[in-house]
Chain A
């Protein structure tokens, strides 16, 4: 059995075989924004082993249902989907009561964000932001609309594949993760410098799987997406 590489304090390290490099020239913005000097190793202490805790009290009732939390006068346009799965640590244990924040474009590939000037329709009934807290098994579930692809200025005829942004905390500031979920079979994946910036062996971990079990009869297609965070190698002491 192989265990995740541990630091002396019993917290797994960032696995650089899984994460994209800090400068990836095909993704042009990295060239001036990624640091050029090596990261300096830091032995985690209490500062790193702690982090903000946001539980169910941080949520509003419709936060996990993006098909309803932006409604003004009707149903949002597009294909209703369900995104569900578990947040796990590297030993496969569920991470309970941890906050997941998501944001995404609408079905036509347009974000609510004021800086998005893509000439595609905004949807008055879709906001595109939501939150969820995992249950005791680390399970989560969002209802949303399948996001559309959209062009971006990285290179000629550049299009982002359909994706949903996710932000997670996990058990400490070390398990913090911001990532993107992609959809199976998307032909834009093989052309996307952000997705391709990820080490090849790790890319399929970013692609959700269609799940007939998660699909709700007569309502919405289901996609399964588990998220693995860094974590303590043993159960932390309760204070």
Chain B
């Protein structure tokens, strides 16, 4: 019906923190999600996903909000549309602002997701919101140690070869254990691939 057209997106603006990420920023309201996705009963390899959002001049953005959505270590989503369900309390959703870390990084403590289906590479969906972005952006994070699976992933291989690297997080051994690092470049030669999902 023509009467039910999509409500337009508007920017999250600079003042989302006390509403959407209150706990992280120290405001007196609970938060539905934050940077720690794992609990004691979560199965899988603990990883920390670390990155920054860089503007067109390469400067870190201090007022972005990043959300991630991922399957558990067995590749199952905690959602009614995934009939397999998850066997733990793992939800798979995280949300962080980039304004509390001195380097404006987001740092999600999670597990490395399993492949959702045969032929897919493990991945995390990332949504980006910020002042100066009128409509949110979808991107994906793949993993550098999954080269073989990445080479046949249907979404990744639909991206021009010279831009695929913008979606691959580099695995490193760091202070937090296994770290995956990825910066989101809004513009420039390394402009991150965003999807019209």
A→B interface (CB under 8 Å): 1-2, 12-15, 18-22, 24, 27-37, 39-54, 58, 60, 88-92, 99, 101-103, 105, 111-116, 127-131, 165, 167, 172-174, 176-180, 194-195, 197-199, 202-203, 205-206, 226-230, 236-239
Contact = CB atoms under 8 A, between A and B. Distances in A.
B119 to A, nearest CB: 11
Question: Binding site of A, secondary structure by majority: helix, strand, loop or mixed?
Answer: loop
Contact of B187 (A29, A35, A180): A35
Contact of A198 (B8, B117, B137): B8
Contacts of A113: 14-15, 17-18
Among B8, B25, B30, B78: residue with most chain A CB under 10 A: B8
Given A34-B186, A165-B15, A230-B6, 5 more contacts: A35-B194, A46-B117, A53-B79, A103-B20, A112-B27
Given A42-B155, A48-B197, A102-B19, A197 B83 contact: no
Interface of B: 1-20, 22, 25, 27-30, 32-33, 55-57, 61, 63, 67, 69, 71, 77-85, 91-93, 99, 116-117, 120, 123, 125, 127, 129-138, 154-155, 158-159, 186-187, 191-197
Nearest to B135: A19
Among B7, B20, B79: residue with most chain A CB under 10 A: B7
B79 A50 contact: yes
A39 B158 CA distance: 12
Contacts of B133: 22, 30, 33-34
A18 B5 CA distance: 8
Contact of A32 (B18, B28, B55, B79): B55
Contact of B6 (A52, A102, A228): A228
A173 B136 CA distance: 11
Question: Binding site of B, secondary structure by majority: helix, strand, loop or mixed?
Answer: loop
B12 A165 contact: yes
A149 B16 CA distance: 17
B85 to A, nearest CB: 6
B4 A42 contact: no
Contacts of A43: 154-155
Given A20-B134, A103-B20, A128-B18, A52 B92 contact: yes
Nearest to A32: B56
A54 B91 CA distance: 10
9 contacts: A41-B158, A41-B196, A88-B4, A112-B27, A116-B15, A173-B69, A194-B134, A195-B10, A205-B5
Contacts of B125: 47-48, 173
A123 to B, nearest CB: 14
Contact of A178 (B1, B9, B28, B30): B9
B130 A90 contact: no
A239 B130 contact: no
B20 A180 contact: no
A179 B92 CA distance: 24
Contacts of A114: 25
A216 B158 CA distance: 54
Given A18-B5, A34-B133, A165 B196 contact: no
B197 A51 contact: no
Contacts of B9: 19-20, 177-179
A130 B77 CA distance: 28
